[in-house]
Amino acid sequence: MKVKGTVREIADRLRREEDLTESYLESLLRDPRAGVQKLARSYLRKRDAERREKKRLEQMWQFERTYRDQGYRYIAGVDEAGRGPLAGPVVAAAVILPEGFDVTGLNDSKKLTPEERSSLRARIERGAVAWGIGVVDNAYIDEHNILQATFEAMRRAVAELEPAADFLLTDAAKVPGLSLPQEPIVKGDALSHSIAAASVIAKTVRDEWMIHAGKEYPQYGFDTNMGYGTPEHLAALDRWGACPLHRRSFAPVGERCRKERLC
């Protein structure tokens, strides 16, 4: 039996979400008109996706909520960007979010588009209790190794927080050299809003740094590859050798330097 209304009228009702009872939606699915059934299925998929996203966002507060209940006030998420590239710095960020922060769309920065990251960064910087950034260059990476450089960037980011953090949520590993209590969370940027916020800040700051570096050293394509070892980047290394921003302790760079003596 047909549901009252034209296909367009039903589409308008679904868009306005006006009096959409479960029985009404079921009747749309039984409607003999293919267009009405399609509208109903599309609406139900959209509703289910929104419910899953709402649940995901709510679950990502679980660690912050746990430690707030234990009396911690300034819980900072810490994450980094740039461990894998062949050039440029490693960048870390630390972020303290307030309760009630608008987390719409917040996720692991790698799962977001550049436009989404940029929008989220503006929201985070505007609404965070505090945020800090730590940048460690390729010379430090070559001298101390990438893991130690990453920890140093994280320590610098945490030191920038004002007010200071009283608890840290970190992505996967504890940061040595800090007296603060910490909770390392495997894949934390997908499980904690504070860590996800830090990942967004770190990623966008580093990308901006590499885009600027690309203007100084255009032959390597830093503005698009962000220093990662793409085929084009490796070909540029073969042709031009390494520039002052390259990590000579990383095999693809060091091997070419030794082979071609271009460093």
Residues 229 and 255 in one domain: yes
* Residues of the domain holding 22: 7-58
Residue 79 labeled ligand binder? yes
- Look at residue 144 and tell me if it is in a domain: yes
Record the pTM.
0.85
Sign of the CA dihedral 14, 20, 23, 24?
negative
* 135 & 199 share domain: yes
**Same domain for 178 and 124:** yes
- Position 2 in a domain: no
Decide if pLDDT at 10 tops 90.
no
Shared domain check, 230 and 105: no
User: 97 and 193 in contact (C-beta within 8 Å)?
Assistant: yes
Q: Is residue 240 part of a domain?
A: yes
CATH, residue 153? 3.30.420.10
Specify whether 166 is located in the same domain as 150.
yes
Question: Does the pLDDT at position 260 exceed 90?
Answer: no
pLDDT for 257: 79
Kindly state whether residues 170 and 102 are assigned to the same domain.
Answer: yes
Kindly state the greatest CA–CA separation across the chain: 80
pLDDT tens digits, one per residue of 234-252: 999 999 999 999 999 999 9
Residue 3 and residue 9 in contact, taking contact as beta carbons nearer than 8 Å: no
In this structure, the answer to whether residues 84 and 162 fall within a common structural domain is yes
